[in-house]
């Protein structure tokens, strides 16, 4: 029998808040979560960004070379579940606990001022640490904070990174390398990313509008979500995973949706579930013309038009390497919370695109009884993953 892995605890922060109570309120009565910052203007044009506006603690328990916004955000998520993590380390030993963290830019935003100084002056400023922007930096930082000596590494597969760490954590536990894994994703805003997506003409000047006929691009965001994964029973279990890499195009999805269809079906098969078992789907839902077309086609073909679904990116922005973990966190909340919370409302202009298959987008007051939820993440290069999370008999909220 295949070993079940549980998501025992979690920590999360993003533009919508830094607690599940805050997130639940935003997903039912969305307020102003996106920020326009002159610090990230493009040709004098400020874009709406999913910027986390709360305080972040300075790093502690690690060297000063780790200090920066990206690692502070990772630490803030870690602190929300630190007692559970420390209990796991005490139980299993530091050598039996792993750390796998997804990111797409790591601490590049922390180092951009230093690079700017180097361009202008010919030398790097005191305190500049290239290691902050390495893709493995968040994982190494967390491991150093906690004194973990098990497997430690980063994952950077663009917008699927955070979700893929949960699949990796399950493999590490099932293969016997670890008894517990800290997995998730963290990404912070940086000028390189915002300029890059702007050059692709993929960003919107207003709040993104997934699956609308008027959709015109994404909002870049930032955030972090971490999980403690183990074989010990907890409130939520990782029921199914589907992964593939269709390699259709470096930045555009396969319009037929075959990559997305493949991972959704693989996740259902891995979970030994039929499509009718899925009570809610968190859509990748970026609000670009091509992604929404592809995903609507795939959802309609695999799950049908009746499954309740929504994109949470109009509230959080697209948090890139952290998105898959953050959105899995929203699904975790739906399953773990007692009494149950409502499904995240799909925030848009209610103008369907007649060229897209019909979807059952969540409206306020929609019934929320859930046993299994699915979350999609699709990345550049056709790197796709679908997660299915299930409700267990254990709850801790």
pLDDT in tens, 96-139: 999 999 999 999 999 999 999 999 999 999 889 898 899 999 99
pLDDT at res. 187: 98
pLDDT at res. 62: 65
pLDDT at res. 255: 86
Q: What is the mean pLDDT of residues 220-245?
A: 97
Give me the numbers of helices (H) and strands (E) for the chain, helices first please: 11, 13
- Whether 344 contacts 330, CB under 8 Å: yes
Show Cβ contacts of residue 161 under 8 Å, excluding neighbours closer than 6 positions. Answer: 102, 103, 104, 155, 185, 320, 321, 322, 324, 379
Percent of the chain with pLDDT over 90: 79
Give the least confident one: 28-42, 74-88, 311-325, 366-380. Answer: 28-42
Confidence check: pLDDT of 397 > 70 = no
Confidence check: pLDDT of 22 > 50 = yes
The CA distance from 229 to 385, in Å, is 18
Cα separation values, 323 from 93, 350, 354, Å: 30, 24, 28
The CA distance from 102 to 77, in Å, is 14
60, exposed or middle or buried, with CB in 10 Å at 0-12, 13-18, 19+?
A: exposed
pLDDT at res. 30: 67
The CA distance from 185 to 159, in Å, is 10
Q: For the segment 126-177, what is each residue's pLDDT rounded down to a tens digit?
A: 889 898 899 999 999 999 999 999 999 999 999 999 999 999 999 999 999 9
Cα separation values, 4 from 28, 107, 249, Å: 32, 34, 35
Confidence check: pLDDT of 334 > 90 = yes
Going along the chain from its start, the domains and CATH numbers come out as 6-391 (3.40.47.10)
pLDDT band at 370 (very low <50, low <70, confident <90, very high): very high
pLDDT at res. 396: 45
pLDDT at res. 394: 58
Instruction: Write phi, then psi, for 221 (nearest 5 degrees).
Output: -135, -175
The CA distance from 4 to 338, in Å, is 22
| Residue 142 CB-half CA count within 13 A | 37
Residue with tokens 């805003």: 189
The CA distance from 315 to 230, in Å, is 30
8-state DSSP, 262 = H
pTM beyond 0.75: the answer is yes
Strands 223-230, 280-282: parallel, antiparallel or unpaired by DSSP?
unpaired
The count of residues in the chain is 397
pLDDT at res. 53: 93
pLDDT band at 27 (very low <50, low <70, confident <90, very high): confident
Q: Show which residues are catalytic.
A: 159, 284, 318
- Alpha helices (H) in 69-107, listed in sequence order: 69-80, 82-92
* Assigned token pair, 40: 């990230």
Strand segments, DSSP code E, in the chain are 6-14, 35-36, 48-49, 97-102, 152-155, 180-187, 223-230, 236-245, 280-282, 308-310, 360-361, 372-379, 383-391
pLDDT at res. 46: 82
Dihedral of alpha carbons 192, 16, 387, 239, sign = positive
pLDDT at res. 114: 93
Show Cβ contacts of residue 209 under 8 Å, excluding neighbours closer than 6 positions. Answer: 215, 216, 287, 314, 348, 349
Task: Please provide the average confidence, as pLDDT, over all residues in the chain.
Answer: 93
pLDDT band at 223 (very low <50, low <70, confident <90, very high): very high
Q: What is the mean pLDDT of residues 267-284?
A: 98
Q: How many Å from the N-terminal Cα to the C-terminal Cα in the chain?
A: 29
Percent of the chain with pLDDT over 70: 97
Confidence check: pLDDT of 184 > 90 = yes
């Amino acid at each position: 029998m295949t070993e079940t892995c549980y998501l025992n605890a979690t920590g999360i922060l993003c533009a919508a808040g830094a607690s599940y109570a805050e997130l639940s309120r935003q997903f039912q009565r969305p307020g102003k979560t996106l920020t326009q910052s002159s610090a990230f203007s493009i040709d004098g044009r400020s874009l709406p960004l999913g910027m986390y506006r709360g305080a972040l603690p300075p790093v502690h328990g690690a060297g000063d070379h780790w200090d920066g916004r990206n690692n502070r955000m990772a630490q803030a998520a870690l602190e929300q579940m630190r007692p559970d993590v420390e209990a796991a380390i005490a139980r299993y030993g530091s050598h039996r606990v792993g750390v796998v963290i997804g990111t797409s830019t790591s601490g590049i935003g922390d180092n951009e001022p230093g690079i700017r100084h180097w361009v202008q002056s010919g030398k790097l400023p005191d305190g500049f640490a290239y290691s902050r922007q390495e893709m493995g930096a968040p994982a190494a930082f967390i491991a150093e904070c906690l004194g973990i000596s098990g497997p430690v590494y980063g994952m950077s597969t663009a917008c699927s990174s955070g979700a893929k760490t949960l699949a990796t954590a399950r493999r590490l536990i099932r293969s016997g390398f670890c008894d517990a894994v800290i997995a998730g994703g963290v990404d912070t805003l940086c000028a390189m990313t915002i300029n890059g997506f702007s050059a692709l003409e993929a960003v919107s000047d207003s709040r993104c509008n997934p699956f609308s006929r008027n959709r015109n691009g994404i909002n870049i965001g930032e955030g972090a979500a971490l999980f403690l994964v183990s074989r010990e029973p907890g409130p939520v279990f990782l029921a199914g995973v589907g992964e593939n890499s269709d390699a259709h195009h470096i930045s555009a999805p396969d319009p037929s949706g075959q990559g997305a269809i493949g991972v959704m079906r693989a996740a259902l098969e891995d979970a030994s579930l039929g499509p009718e078992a899925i009570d809610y789907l968190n859509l990748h839902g970026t609000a670009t013309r091509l992604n929404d077309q592809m995903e609507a086609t795939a959802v309609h073909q695999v799950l049908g038009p009746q499954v309740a679904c929504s994109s949470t990116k109009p509230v959080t922005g697209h948090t890139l390497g952290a998105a898959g973990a953050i959105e899995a966190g929203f699904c975790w909340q739906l399953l773990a919370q007692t009494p149950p919370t409502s499904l995240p409302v799909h925030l848009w202009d209610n103008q369907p695109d007649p060229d897209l298959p019909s979807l059952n987008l969540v409206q306020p007051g929609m019934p929320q009884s859930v046993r299994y939820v699915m979350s999609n993440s699709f990345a550049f290069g056709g790197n796709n993953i679908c997660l299915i999370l299930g409700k267990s008999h254990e709850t801790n909220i």
